[in-house]
A and B are shown apart, each in its own frame.
Chain A
Amino acid sequence: MAEALALEGVTKRYGAFAAVDDLSFRAEAGRILGFLGPNGAGKTTTLRMTLGLIQPDAGKITVLGETDPSRARDRVGFLPEERGLYRRMTALDAIVFFAGLKGVPQRTARPRALQLLEEQGLGPAARRQVRHLSKGMGQKVQLIAALIHEPDLVLLDEPFSGLDPVNQQAVEAMVRGLAARGATVVFSTHVMQHAERLCDQVVLIAGGRKAFDGSVDAARAAAPRTLVLEGDIAPEAVRALPGVTGVSVELLESGRRRISAALAADSNGQAPLQAAFAQGLDVGRFELNEPSLHDAFLVLAGGGDS
C-alpha cells in the first residue's frame, strides 16, 4: 500500500530542548493513524512540521509523495488544536473562503459546504455568523472547512476536545467516512477510547521520541492483563500466585478487598486463578481484564499524564 506520510529521523530542537527527537513513522494511504502522547510530547510540533509550517532541524518528511510538505498543501486538510475562524463571517462564507484557498472554485465549494453543513445538522446555522455559534457548532464548522477540498491526507490535532459525547460520535463518523473514501487520517488525541475505536495504527511519542508504533492490539499487548479478585484475601497470598507480577489493593465498603493482580506477559490468567481456588482463598468474585489502550499508554509513555 502507498504511503501518504513518512517521517524519517525527524528532529526539531529549540535551543538545548529537543521537542521532537529522531522520530520516524509511516502512515499508509486510506488508514487512520492515532498520534498519541502526553502533554508536551511533541505532537503539535510534529504536525506543524508535517504541514511545512516549521522546518525540522534534521530528518526527512514526505507528504503525499512530496519531500517539500508545502507542495502538497492543497491535498492536505488540517484542524488545529486551538480552533480559529473569522468570527464575523457566516459559517458558509468561512468554509467557502478556506475552500478557495485550497483551490476549490466557489461554484463547487458553496453547494458542497451546504451539503456538509446539512449532514452535520448545521443547515439552519449556515448563514449565521461564527460568533453566534456554540463551541461545538464552531468546531464542526472548522472541521468542515478543513475537509471541504476533499483532501488525501487529513491532520487533526485533538479533534474531540471540547465536544459533547453526541458531537464526538459525529466526528468519529466523519473520520471513518474519510478513511472509507480513501483518505489518510492522522489525529492526535488524549482520549484513548477514540483511538481504540478508530485507529488502524497508533504511534505513541513521549519526550519527543517514539515509544510505540503498531496496531492497537499490539499496543495493548504491551500492557499486562489484570486478574481482579474480590474477597477477604491477603495481598501477599495473591502476590504469591503463579504469573502475578504485582498487585494493587482497594478496600471496599463491605470491609472486603479488591485486589488487582498484574499478570506476566506469558500468563493467560488460568494458572493463578486455579491456584487461588486450590489454595482455598476466599474469592467472592473474580474478573480477567484485557488491557486497554489507556493501560498501554500509561505503560508505554512511562506513566505520563494522559
Chain B
Amino acid sequence: MKRLLKIARREYVAYVRTVGFWLSIAMLPLMAVVLGGAPALMFMTAPPARLAVVDLTGGGYAGDIARALTAPIPSRPGARPRKLAQIVPAAIGPVRDAAEAGRRVRTLLLGSGPRSPAQIDGAAVIHDDAGAVRVDFWSRNLPDPILRGVVRQAVADRMRAQRMEAEGVPPAAVEALKSVAPAIADYSARAAARTGLRDRIPGIVGLAFGMLLWMAAISGAGILLTSVVEEKSSRVLEVLLASASPSEIMLGKILGVACVTLTVLGTWIGLGAVGLYGAAPGIAGDVAAALLDQGLVVYLLIYLVGGYLMYASAFAAIGSFCETTREAQTLVTPIMLLLTVPMVFMTQAIVRPDAPFLAALSWFPPFTPFLMPARAAAHPPTWQLAGSAAFMLATAGASLWISTRAFALGALSGGRVEPRKILRLLLGRSG
C-alpha cells in the first residue's frame, strides 16, 4: 500500500508541475467566459443597426416596422434596455419602382468612409408585386435573421389588420386580436404539480455532470495511456517492476492520475459554483438542492469512480503493450469510437430522459457513467439507479482484474503489438 501511494504521489506531482496541467485548469473557465460572454458583449457594445424603410405601397408599413424594431429589448433584470435597430430616413430621393430603389439602396450600403447620419446597415423596400405585398430586405452582406424576422412579422401583422378592417372588423378589435394567445402551464404527473425552470435543473445538472464525467474519464485515461507508454519506452516500467508489483504500479498510477483529474474537475466545479452563486444565487441554491435531492450526488460519485476505473484500467493495460503513442492510438481507437455513442445520446436525454432506448443504453456498463446522470431529470426508479451502478461497478472490477493481468504481461513484452498476441497472453497461452 505504501508503494502504491508513493507511485500515486510521484504521478500526481509530475503532472502538477507541468505547464499543461495549469493550462487545462485555466482553459475551461476561460472558454466559458469567452463563449458565454462574447455574444452578449458584442450585442451590448455594438450600436443598434441603422435600417431604412422604403414603402412604395403607401400601406403605412414603415410606422409598424419602426415600432416593432425600436421596442426596448429586456436583457436581464436591472440592465439598461436595448433597441434592436434604429430607423433612419433613406437618402435615396424619389424612385419610380423597387428596382430603382434597390439600386440606390445598394449604393448607400456599399458606400465607404466615416459613419455619417445618412449611412445605413440595411433597408426594407416594400412594394407591390402583382397584387401581393413584397419586402426586399437589403443588407451589406447576409441579412440579420432576427431583424429580418421582426420586419416580416410587422408587415404581416399590418397586412392582416388591413384585411380584417376591409372585412369590417373595427380597428380596436383588430388591435385587441393581436394580443390573443393561450396561457400555457406545464404539469408533471410524477410531481403532481406545475413545473417550471426549477424542475428542469436536475436534468441540466445531470447532463452537465454526464459531460464532466465523460471529459474526466477520457482525459484521465488519456493521461494514463501516455504515461504508461512513456515509462514502457524509457524502460522505467521494468525498473519499477523490480520494486513493486504490477498491481501496485498500475493502481498507483490510476490513483495519481485520478487525483490530477479530480483537482482539475474540482477547480472547474468550484469556479462554476462561485460564478453561478454570484450571478444567480437562486439558481445556485436550486442546483445544490437538485444534487442533494434523493442522493443524486452520491450516485454521481459512484458513476465517476466506476467510469474512471473502467476506462483508466483498460487504457493503462493497453499502454503497457505499446512503446509508441502511435501503437497506443491504434489500439484505443475502437474504445474512443465507442465513447462517442453516449455523447450523442446525452444531449437527447435533456429532452426525452425517459426514452426507452436511452434507458436501455444506460444499462450498458461502458455507457452507464455518462447516461445515467443525464437521465436524472426523469428521476429513474431507485432499483434502476442501484442496479446499473452495481452492474457498472462489477464491470469496473472485472476490467481492473483483467487489466492488472494484462499490465503485468504487457510491461515486459516487446516487439510489435498484435491484438491476437495480447489475447493469447491473457488467456495464458504463451508463445
Q: Chain A residues in contact with chain B, CB under 8 A?
A: 13-17, 48, 51, 53-54, 70, 73, 76, 78, 80, 82-89, 97-98, 100-103, 142, 145
Query: Nearest CB to that of A102 among chain B residues?
Result: B243
In the complex, whether B3 has a CB less than 8 A from a CB of chain A is yes
Tell me which residues across on chain B come within 8 A of A80, comparing CB atoms: 235, 238-239, 242
In the complex, whether B200 has a CB less than 8 A from a CB of chain A is no
Kindly name the residue among B236, B243, B430 whose own CB sees the greatest number of chain A CB atoms within 10 A. Answer: B243
Q: A82-B235, A84-B237 are in contact. Are A76 and B430 (CB under 8 A)?
A: no
Kindly name the residue among B6, B231, B241, B244 whose own CB sees the greatest number of chain A CB atoms within 10 A. Answer: B241
In the complex, whether B75 has a CB less than 8 A from a CB of chain A is no
Chain B interface secondary structure, helix, strand, loop or mixed? Answer: helix
In the complex, per-residue mask of B236-278: 1 if CB is within 8 Å of any chain A CB, else 0: 1111111111000000000000000000000000000000000
A14 to B10, CA, bound (A): 35
**Cβ of A48 and Cβ of B235 under 8 Å apart?**
no
Tell me which residues across on chain A come within 8 A of B386, comparing CB atoms: none
Q: A80-B242, A101-B6 are in contact. Are A14 and B234 (CB under 8 A)?
A: no
In the complex, whether B292 has a CB less than 8 A from a CB of chain A is no
Tell me which residues across on chain A come within 8 A of B244, comparing CB atoms: 73, 101
Query: Nearest CB to that of A103 among chain B residues?
Result: B2
Q: Which 8 A-B pairs have the closest CB atoms?
A: A15-B431, A84-B235, A78-B242, A101-B243, A84-B236, A82-B235, A84-B239, A80-B238
In the complex, whether B32 has a CB less than 8 A from a CB of chain A is no
A-B contact count (CB 8 A): 63
Kindly name the residue among A17, A54, A70 whose own CB sees the greatest number of chain B CB atoms within 10 A. Answer: A54
In the complex, whether B360 has a CB less than 8 A from a CB of chain A is no
In the complex, whether B412 has a CB less than 8 A from a CB of chain A is yes
**Cβ of B242 and Cβ of A73 under 8 Å apart?**
yes
Q: How far is the CB of B232 from chain A (nearest CB, A)?
A: 9
**Cβ of B6 and Cβ of A97 under 8 Å apart?**
yes
In the complex, per-residue mask of B397-422: 1 if CB is within 8 Å of any chain A CB, else 0: 00000000000000010000000000
Q: A78-B242, A97-B6, A101-B244 are in contact. Are A15 and B235 (CB under 8 A)?
A: no
Of the residues A17, A73, A88, contact of B243 by C-beta under 8 Å: A73
Q: List 8 A-B contacts (CB under 8 A).
A: A14-B431, A48-B412, A51-B241, A70-B245, A80-B235, A84-B239, A101-B243, A145-B239
**Cβ of A53 and Cβ of B241 under 8 Å apart?**
yes
A13 to B431, CA, bound (A): 8
A73 to B239, CA, bound (A): 12
**Cβ of B14 and Cβ of A88 under 8 Å apart?**
yes
Q: How far is the CB of A211 from chain B (nearest CB, A)?
A: 25
A256 to B235, CA, bound (A): 53
Q: A14-B431, A16-B431, A54-B412 are in contact. Are A84 and B234 (CB under 8 A)?
A: yes
**Cβ of B242 and Cβ of A85 under 8 Å apart?**
no
Q: A54-B412, A80-B235 are in contact. Are A101 and B240 (CB under 8 A)?
A: yes
Kindly name the residue among A83, A100, A101 whose own CB sees the greatest number of chain B CB atoms within 10 A. Answer: A101
A73 to B2, CA, bound (A): 14
A53 to B17, CA, bound (A): 31
Of the residues A13, A51, A86, A103, contact of B236 by C-beta under 8 Å: A86
Tell me which residues across on chain A come within 8 A of B241, comparing CB atoms: 51, 53
**Cβ of A82 and Cβ of B243 under 8 Å apart?**
no
A78 to B239, CA, bound (A): 7
**Cβ of B6 and Cβ of A100 under 8 Å apart?**
yes
**Cβ of A101 and Cβ of B238 under 8 Å apart?**
no
**Cβ of B430 and Cβ of A13 under 8 Å apart?**
yes
Tell me which residues across on chain A come within 8 A of B7, comparing CB atoms: 101
**Cβ of B14 and Cβ of A76 under 8 Å apart?**
no
A48 to B244, CA, bound (A): 13
A86 to B240, CA, bound (A): 11
Q: How far is the CB of B107 from chain A (nearest CB, A)?
A: 65
A88 to B243, CA, bound (A): 20
Tell me which residues across on chain A come within 8 A of B412, comparing CB atoms: 48, 53-54
Tell me which residues across on chain B come within 8 A of A48, comparing CB atoms: 412
Q: How far is the CB of A6 from chain B (nearest CB, A)?
A: 19
Query: Nearest CB to that of B17 among chain A residues?
Result: A88
Tell me which residues across on chain B come within 8 A of A15, comparing CB atoms: 430-431
Tell me which residues across on chain A come within 8 A of B236, comparing CB atoms: 84-86
Query: Nearest CB to that of A77 among chain B residues?
Result: B242
Q: A13-B430, A101-B3 are in contact. Are A87 and B234 (CB under 8 A)?
A: yes
Tell me which residues across on chain A come within 8 A of B17, comparing CB atoms: 88
Known: A53-B241, A83-B235, A101-B7; 13 extra A-B contacts, CB below 8 A, are: A14-B431, A15-B431, A70-B245, A73-B242, A73-B244, A76-B242, A84-B235, A85-B234, A86-B14, A86-B234, A88-B17, A98-B239, A101-B244
Of the residues B3, B235, B430, contact of A14 by C-beta under 8 Å: B430
A89 to B237, CA, bound (A): 15
Q: How far is the CB of A106 from chain B (nearest CB, A)?
A: 10
A54 to B235, CA, bound (A): 16
**Cβ of A85 and Cβ of B6 under 8 Å apart?**
no
**Cβ of B6 and Cβ of A84 under 8 Å apart?**
no
Q: A14-B431, A15-B431 are in contact. Are A51 and B242 (CB under 8 A)?
A: yes
**Cβ of A17 and Cβ of B431 under 8 Å apart?**
yes
Segment 278-318 of B: residues with Cβ below 8 Å from A: none
**Cβ of A97 and Cβ of B245 under 8 Å apart?**
no
A100 to B2, CA, bound (A): 9
Tell me which residues across on chain A come within 8 A of B2, comparing CB atoms: 103
Tell me which residues across on chain A come within 8 A of B238, comparing CB atoms: 53, 80, 82, 84
A15 to B431, CA, bound (A): 4
Query: Nearest CB to that of B424 among chain A residues?
Result: A15
A78 to B244, CA, bound (A): 12
Q: How far is the CB of A162 from chain B (nearest CB, A)?
A: 13
A78 to B6, CA, bound (A): 19
**Cβ of A97 and Cβ of B10 under 8 Å apart?**
yes
Q: How far is the CB of A135 from chain B (nearest CB, A)?
A: 13
Tell me which residues across on chain B come within 8 A of A97, comparing CB atoms: 6, 10
Kindly name the residue among B17, B236, B240, B242 whose own CB sees the greatest number of chain A CB atoms within 10 A. Answer: B242
A17 to B7, CA, bound (A): 36
Tell me which residues across on chain A come within 8 A of B430, comparing CB atoms: 13-15
A189 to B236, CA, bound (A): 21
Tell me which residues across on chain B come within 8 A of A83, comparing CB atoms: 235
Kindly name the residue among A13, A16, A82, A97 whose own CB sees the greatest number of chain B CB atoms within 10 A. Answer: A97
